[in-house]
Amino acid sequence: MDINDQQLLELYKTGQELTRIGNRAVHNAQERNRQLGVPNSYTINGILYFEKPNGELTTENLLEKMMIERGFL
């Protein structure tokens, strides 16, 4: 199956739109977590980091700490 230039352009546009939607959803989820006091987590070069309320990143498992404090664990 050959793909022509128009199809490639449509695939590119679709990919761009899906990326935009995904980025917006992640941003909204991160903001909601901050409002609820739930730490956001990130993996950078294979290392798990958690975001402190001041925005600083730490390798301390703040999610587990929060769950213990709230009686979930």
Number of domains observed in the structure of the chain:
1
Q: Looking at residue 1, what is its pLDDT?
A: 66
Q: Rounded to two decimals, what is the model's pTM?
A: 0.77
Q: Which domain holds residue 19?
A: 5-69
- pLDDT one-digit tens code per residue, 10-64: 999 999 999 999 999 999 999 999 999 999 999 999 999 999 999 999 999 999 9
Q: Looking at residue 52, what is its pLDDT?
A: 94
> Which residues 6+ apart lie within 8 Å of 52 measured at CB?
39, 58, 62
